[in-house]
Amino acid sequence: MRGIGILSRESLFHIYIYAGLGGVFLMKALKAWIRVTLKMLPFFAGMAVLIALILWIAGVFTSKIPPGHEAAPARRLAESDRTDQVHEVIKPYFEEALGSVKAAARTEISSRILAPILEITVAAGQTVESGDVLVRLDPRAIQARLFQAQAGVTEAEAALEKAKSYFARYERLLEENAVSRSEFERVQTERNVAQAQLRQAKEALSEAEVLLSYTVIKAPKVGLVVDRLAEPGDTARPGIPLLVLYDPASLRLEVPVPESLAVRLKKGDEFTVRFDALDREVTAVVDEIVPQAEVGSRSLLVKAALPLTEGLFEGMFGRIQIPSGRRRHLCLAVDAVHRVGQLEYVEVVKKDRTLERRMIKTGRLGMPGKVEVLSGVEAGETVRLPATKQSELDR
C-alpha cells in the first residue's frame, strides 16, 4: 500500500507536469488562433459588407410591389389636331455605275518624213482650228530634192522638143522615101522615150512638192491639244507621235454596266450623268454598246455621248444613273415621325379616334416633306401630326 501511494504521488507529479505543458501549448495555440483571426477579420468584414450590398441591390431589404397590370389611359385625337394619311407610291429606282470620260475623236499628230523639228507652234491645253499650223520641219533636204526634180523636168522637156523635131523631119523624109523605115522607127522610139522621161521627171517633181508640204504639219480638224511629245531640235520620225489632240465635242462616258442591266439598254437611251468635280449634271445618250462581256466583272462597256460642256476634259470621273426597275413603297409626312434616340414612332389614329403609338422604320427622303416608310404602318392609315406653335398657343 505504501508503494502504491508513492507511485500515485509520482504519477500525480507527472500529471501535473504534463498538464502544465499542455496548458502552455494550449495558450500558444490560442494566441496563434487569435492572431490569425485578427488578420482575417478585415476579409470577413469585407465579405459581409459585399453580401449585404448584393442583397440590398437585389431588393431583399425593400418592400415589393405586388404583380398586376394597369392599362394606361387611352389618348384621343383632339379636334384641333392635324393628321396625314400613309400613301402608297410606285416609283422607278436606279442603280449607279461609274465611268470615265474619253474622246471618240482622238488624233495623234506625227510626221511622214524624217526631218529635224524647227518649231512647234502649240502647247498642251490650246485649242486649234482645222488648218492651223502645228509643227514646222527643216525643209532644206526636201527643197534640194525639189530643185533636182525641177532641173530634171527642164532637161526632159528639152530632150522631148529635140526628139519631136527629129521625128517631124524624119516623118517628112519617110513620105519622100528619103529614109528607111527602120531609121524612122528609131527616131519615133527616141521621141516616145523622151516623152516617158518627161512624165517621170514631172512625177518626181510632184513627189518632191508633196514631200515639201509635209514639212509643215497642220491640224486636220478642230481639237484640244492634250499632250506635246516633242520639242524643237528633236528629229521627227514617221509614225512617232509629236502631238495628241481630241475634239471636245466628241467626248463620251465609257461605263462598265452589269450584264443584267446592259441587256435592257439600247442605242439612243438617255441618262443623267453627274460630274462631282464640276458639281453639275448633264444628259448623256447611249452611242454604242460593246457586244462583249468582261469575264471577271460580267459587265458590258456602254459608251454614252456627252454634250459639249465647259470644264469637261478627257479622263474625268462621272456617275451614271441607270433605271433598274420599279418598286412600291409607303410614304408619309416627315413631321409625323417622332424620334427618341435611334427609335422612330408615329401616332396612328384608330377608328375610334384613339391614338396608338407604333414603332416604324424609315428609309430615304422622297418628295419635299415626305419620307419613305419601310415597316410599321399600312397604306391608308392615318397618323397624327404635331401641333403647330399657333395651335399650342390656342390650347
Walk along the chain (395 residues) in steps of 10 and give the mean pLDDT of each run: 49 67 75 78 82 80 68 71 82 83 89 92 89 92 89 89 85 80 85 89 89 90 89 91 89 89 85 89 90 84 89 88 79 86 86 84 78 84 72 41
Question: What letter represents residue 383's amino acid?
Answer: V
The reported pLDDT for the residue numbered 389 is 42
Give the position of cell 401630326: 385
Q: What is the reported pLDDT for 217?
A: 92
Closest CA to 276 of 327, 240, 311: 311
The residues with which 116 forms a beta bridge, in sequence order, are 235
pTM of the model: 0.53
Q: Can you give the C-alpha Rg of the chain in angstroms?
A: 54
User: Largest Cα–Cα distance in the chain?
Assistant: 209
Name which of 255, 249, 261, 248 is nearest 303 in CA terms: 255
Rounded to 5 degrees, what angle do the CA atoms 224, 228, 233 make? Answer: 140
CA distance from start to end of the chain: 120
* Cβ(243)–Cβ(227) below 8 Å: yes
